[in-house]
Structure 1
């Protein structure tokens, strides 16, 4: 059977010209072979025994005008998530310091805006970024769409990374979001890249998409030059009141396959095991790490949805002989 498998690319090679056929062949490999290839690539670029701990804080919650079908913060849905104003700088930095003490080396700040505002609120975010960096943490923001000038200002404040997910393939995107185009997202990513901020960009699986859409998303990410330094892979968290509340759950092994495929396509990127971990067994999470996931979010909340507690994560990593990174993780 091994003679019929597609050839294994060199573990250290970086490509931006993957074809959909090649991506399909990788994803369809027998799982032991897929995990072996992904782990070989992972070891060529990353420490396989450590994961980066990140923390995510909602600094402005609810009331978003977008219609993203998965999001409990949309003003269009009744989900029990209320509108809360932008947090103060001091409150944010207290949370950042607590996250650092719990083992996080990256602190992410999310705001439910369609586009980052101008004026006093944006200036407050810049102050938050400077404060987080002064604590010795990487600083990441996800604020919606940015102008080139806003990206430059964030870079000047010291922002490490900007998260702006593509979510899914271009073909399926319109079934999930109608208030912002794929081109809009790519434009913001371009502003971020040109400002010298690293890119955090991934997607969500389990939204009713076909396999071709999952692989199309990975193809879009892998075609970026350079690849996103950070690739979060999220599993849909079904929230009552959203259009996807009744979406069928996916087999955790599908998440493992997507992570392993992403690892092979983008060898130097940090693949982040993100939303949806509460629905995973310890064994499924272990397979995700074996597949090349090099980061988790720690803390009991991800914006407005649940997440495993820090002590549980530490206990799992200890059982696996792994550890949280004790300093920011660089991309090789």
Structure 2
């Protein structure tokens, strides 16, 4: 074997070894950080070629100046390799970001579809009760078998209103989970909370529950006033319904970084871990012994409203164990605004 052939063979072996080792390292790295692996791929290529050339030049006893020249030529390609790696890394990062967004969207769509199917099933089940009652009352009225027709008419109207509320909840939940963007306008959150308290006050008075105003942040948020009002009213109504007579429900707002939080604390006595996990699930009702049974969509709608505004809703037991606090978070409209001096 001639010296040239031997040098070429040795260079090929060294290049393959260095390249293979680098490829294995990049393959492991690509599982967790594909963008970094894409950045390193051109560098591994240049490095393996440099190693092969260095071995070949030494094997062929090339002059020191020629040896340095060859290395300089290879090293001159390193900046280009870095540029190519950066471009590849940027592309890979974009593809990974798009893939992650696509996976999240598909998971969200599956969750929404499952929720809708369950909700439709609950709706068909829950509508049977008021429909059956209306049918019995209507037939009794038709046969003249009702001693108090006015009371029967009142019961029919009440059941129709109940069904109308169920259908309205379904329509609102479908709208919130749809692809349409939530309209945004400045909303004075404290005024909205005050209006919600006024709307729920008759229910609280009838239940013997006091509505207590807590601290107010005086904040403005960007969102849909109607949806936010409904979300806060749902929380207040739920708190009143689960607070014993003589108890109190406290509502207030506060700023927390870039978000404003509406906090409603009740006197329900606290929830177990199972209820805490499912309280925002569509159809979850918990204890319905003290109030008229609905579809269990109130807190679900509240969470969807908050999420549609870029926030979220949470529920936790109070430290004293006497009740729960529901927190509805919405981004502060003042966040990101330029300061007066800027």
- What TM-score does the superposition give when structure 2 sets the normalisation length? 0.23
Question: Comparing both chains, which one has the higher relative contact order based on Cα–Cα distances under 8 Å and sequence gaps of 6 or more?
Answer: 1
Structure that is richer in helix per residue: 2
Q: Whose radius of gyration is greater, 1 or 2?
A: 2
- What TM-score does the superposition give when structure 1 sets the normalisation length? 0.24
